Amino acid sequence: MNDEHDHQLVKRTLSGERGAFGQLVERYQTAVYTVAYNVLGNAADAEDAAQVAFLKAYEQLASFNDDYRFFSWLYRIAVNESINAKKKKRPISGLDHVEAVSDGMADRQTEENELEDRVGDALMDLSPTDRAIIILRHYQDFSYPDIAYILDISEKKVKSRLYTARQRLRGIFEQRGISVQA
Amino acid sequence: MTQELIDLIQREVDGQNTPEDQALLRRHCEEDPSVKMELDGALKVGRVLDNIVEVSPPADFVHRVMDALPEHPSWQRAIRKAPSRGPLFRLTSRPVFTLAYGLVVGVFVTIFVMSGIESDIPVTDQLSGTMASSSEVIFSENIVLDQGAVGEGDTISLSAIQIEEGVQISADGSLHANDVITFSIVRDGTELFSRSIPVISR
A108 to chain B, any CB pair closer than 8 A? The answer is: no
**Could you tell me which chain B residue has the CA closest to the CA of A100?**
B55
pLDDT band at B169 (very low <50, low <70, confident <90, very high): very low
Q: What distance in Å separates the CA atoms of residue B63 and residue B44, rounded to the nearest whole number?
A: 40
Give the Cβ contact number of residue B59 at 10 Å: 7
pLDDT in tens, A134-174: 999 988 889 999 999 998 889 989 988 999 899 888 888 88
In a domain, B68, yes or no: no
Q: Is the pLDDT of residue B89 over 90?
A: no
pLDDT in tens, A95-123: 555 554 444 454 445 666 677 777 888 88
Residue among A26, A38, A54 with most chain B CBs within 10 A, to mutate? A54
> Count of domains in chain B?
2
Cα A176 to Cα A147: distance, rounded to the nearest angstrom? 28
Residue B92 above 60 pLDDT? no
Q: Tell me, what's the pLDDT at A48? A: 93
Q: What is the model's pLDDT at position A113?
A: 65
Residue B105, pLDDT above cutoff 50:
no
Region B132-160 average pLDDT: 34
Give yes or no for residue A125 having a pLDDT over 70: yes
The whole domain housing B42 covers 3-49
pTM: 0.59
Residue B30 placed within a domain: yes
Which of B4-8, B138-142, B190-194 has the weakest average pLDDT?
B138-142
Q: What percent of chain B clears pLDDT 90, i.e. is strictly above it?
A: 19
| In a domain? residue B96 | yes
Region B102-125 average pLDDT: 31
- Do both B33 and B119 map to the same domain? no
Residue B198 belongs to what H/E stretch? strand B190-198
More confident residue, A181 or B56: B56
pLDDT band for B30, please (50, 70, 90 cuts).
Answer: very high
Give the mean pLDDT of A173-181. 75
Q: Rounded to a whole number, what is the distance in Å from the CA of A74 to chain B's nearest CA?
A: 14
Identify the domain boundary among B49, B68, B84: B49
pLDDT confidence of residue B123:
31
Strands B129-133 and B136-139: antiparallel
DSSP string, A139-159: IS---HHHHHHHHTS-HHHHH
Tell me the CB-side half-sphere exposure of residue B47, using CA atoms within 13 A: 12
Q: Is residue A99 within 8 angstroms of chain B, CB to CB?
A: yes
Average pLDDT value for chain B? 56
Listed by number, the residues of chain A in 25-64 with a beta carbon closer than 8 Å to a beta carbon of chain B are 25-26, 29-31, 33-34, 37-38, 43, 46-47, 50-52, 54-56, 58-63
- Indicate if the pLDDT at residue A87 is higher than 80: no
Contact A119, B49 (CB under 8 A): yes
pLDDT-based confidence at residue A42 (cuts at 50, 70, 90) = confident
Distant-in-sequence contacts of B126-132, Cβ < 8 A, 24+ apart: B126/B92, B126/B94, B127/B96, B127/B163, B128/B94, B128/B95, B128/B96, B129/B96, B129/B97, B129/B169, B130/B97, B130/B98, B131/B97, B131/B98, B131/B99, B131/B100, B131/B105, B131/B175, B132/B100
Whether chain B has a CB inside 8 Å of the CB on A153: the answer is no
What pLDDT shows up at residue A152?
Answer: 87
**Closest listed residue to residue A8, CA positions, set B69, A19, A76:** A19
Which residue in the set B44, B65, B75 is minimally distant from A51, CB to CB?
B65
Please compute Rg for chain A using Cα positions.
17
Average pLDDT, chain A: 83
More confident residue, B178 or B102: B178
Q: Does domain A3-93+106-176 have CATH number 1.10.1740.10?
A: yes
Q: How far is B189 from chain A (nearest CA, A)?
A: 7
- Are the beta carbons of A33 and B56 separated by less than 8 Å? yes
Per-residue pLDDT band for B186 (boundaries 50, 70, 90) equals very low
Are residues B43 and B107 part of one domain?
A: no
Quote the pLDDT of residue B192. 53
- B36 compared with A87, residue with greater pLDDT: B36
pLDDT at res. A129 = 85
| A34-48, A57-71, A108-122, B90-104: the lowest-pLDDT one | B90-104
In terms of Cβ atoms closer than 10 Å to its own Cβ (0-12, 13-18, 19+), residue B47 is middle
C-beta atoms of B10 and A162 within 8 A: yes
Residue of A nearest to B75 (CA): A62
B94 with B172, same domain: the answer is yes
Interchain contact, B65 vs A134, CB within 8 Å: no
Q: Do B49 and A134 touch (CB under 8 A)?
A: yes
Of A50-59, A90-99, B39-48, B101-110, highest mean pLDDT: A50-59
Q: Which of A53-57, A71-75, A80-84, A94-98 has the lowest mean pLDDT?
A: A94-98
ipTM reported for the complex, 2 dp: 0.80
Taking residues B46-73, report their average pLDDT. 87
B75 with A21: Cβ contact below 8 A: no
For residue B165, pLDDT beyond 70: no
